[in-house]
Amino acid sequence: MPRVYADGNATTPLLPEVVEAMRPYWIEIFGNASSIHIDGQRAHAAVERSRQTLAEFFNCHDAEVVFNSGGTEGDNTAIFGLLRPGDHFITTAIEHSAVLQAAHRMERFGVATTFVGPRPCGLIDPAEILRALRPETRLISVMLANNETGVLQPVEEIGEIARAAGVFFHIDAVQGAGKVRFDVGRYGCHMLSISAHKMHGPKGVGAMFVRRGTPVEPLIVGGTHERRQRAGTVNTPGIVGLGRAAELAMHSLEDGAMERLAKLRDRLQAGILALPGTGVNGAWDGATPVPRAANTTNIWFDDLEGEALVIALDLKGVAVSGGSACHSGATEPSHVLMAMGLDKARARASLRFSLLKTATDADVDHILRVVPEAVEHLRAISPVAAGTAG
């Protein structure tokens, strides 16, 4: 049975070129990049080459790139590093938990926070951000692409608002990396976070853009690594892998890979929507298409449990994610879909299909073969369809 991995927003496999680039840095060029001897300097040179690549990726200066352990650390660094008791913080109700949980922690330390809700189409309205501003607002943090719906947020307009108000602006760009061309100048942000494993790089490594002069306190203190912005011996193989993944992502963005992927995603979506009792979350604002990452579609299915469909598809060789998350043993509907106004049943019965950039027509054909079978079967036996579930 073929296996199709359609959960690229959860993580992606390393591309062979990334593995090859990293290979020498495990054993041969193993030095500590802070050491002054040749072994250290060879590692240092590789880290600095990756820094240059990331500077190109973000469109910033080399000195504004800080390597870290990934998206969660970047999000935490912006929030813990810029906010102080008495400050006001603006973020959105559809952020990743790396932002939401950090915000809740800061609330306990006396940082008032406004969680701006999305419109039903999944877009954050910049006017709502403007309305939320207070004299004591210090930071705005908004994601570039939502991990569940793929909806691309109007970060340039929000950057304008932040600039006019003299407020710091952080972008969680984890789900945008490799899917849209970045330009931190155009975004008007002070910080931006990415993670290598969402763009065919290794897990546990990421990078932040930190605009020169941004007074962010380091999250991790110790040595003088990363210009004192992030202590800890740098992860040379990981950083080299991130650099190579960023290089390949820039090539893909230029060679039409995203346009090809959007066509595949649209064919997948149209094929599933041919089933009765289905619809897309975050694709339309009335008759206007909502900007989305090319690989993602989030679809609701009436009269079935999303989790049951995730399992049924897995057994048929298709990996996707559901619209629920397990919190302390209980399955909770997605906070993103709930914030968009879906009811609990529909949020629970929503699935995220997020294709890899290496996806093929045959992958989509396989998904379109197995989804209708699985949906029909589950609806036939579903207590939800029979009206017996609460």
Residue with tokens 């699935």: 351
Q: 301 vs 235, 252, 275, 281, 330, CA distance in Å?
A: 43, 33, 9, 11, 21
Q: Is 70 in the site for ligand PLP (CB under 6 A)?
A: yes
Under the binding rule (CB under 6 A), the answer on residue 72 touching ligand PLP is yes
Sole window of 45-53, 66-74, 334-342, 369-377 interacting with ligand PLP (rule: CB under 6 A) = 66-74
For position 71 contacting ligand PLP by CB under 6 A, the verdict is yes
Q: Out of 206, 218, 241, 333, point to the residue binding ligand PLP (CB under 6 A).
A: 206
Kindly indicate which of the ranges 45-53, 65-73, 123-131, 158-166 contains the residues binding ligand PLP, using the contact rule CB under 6 A.
65-73
Give 281: exposed, middle or buried? Use CB within 10 Å, 0-12, 13-18, 19+: buried
Please give the positions annotated as active site: 326
Max intra-chain CA distance, the chain: 72
- Kindly report the CA angle at 68 between 44 and 164, in degrees rounded to 5? 115
Beta carbon nearer to ligand PLP, 72 or 278? 72
Of these, 60, 79, 98, 375, which contacts ligand PLP (CB under 6 A)? 98
Extract the tokens encoding 77.
């660094």
Q: Which residue shows structure tokens 């298709």?
A: 318
- 321 is a site residue for ligand PLP (CB under 6 A): no
- Which 163-202 positions form the footprint of ligand PLP (CB under 6 A)? 172, 174-175, 195
Report yes or no: 195 and 54 within 8 Å, Cβ to Cβ: no
Q: Which residues contact 102 (CB under 8 A, 6 or more apart)?
A: 75, 76, 79, 80
Residue 352 lies near ligand PLP (rule: CB under 6 A): no
Among 96, 348, 366, 379, contact with ligand PLP (rule: CB under 6 A): 96
Q: Determine the size of the site formed for ligand PLP (CB under 6 A).
A: 13
The contact set with ligand PLP (CB under 6 A) reads 70-72, 75, 96, 98, 143, 147, 172, 174-175, 195, 206
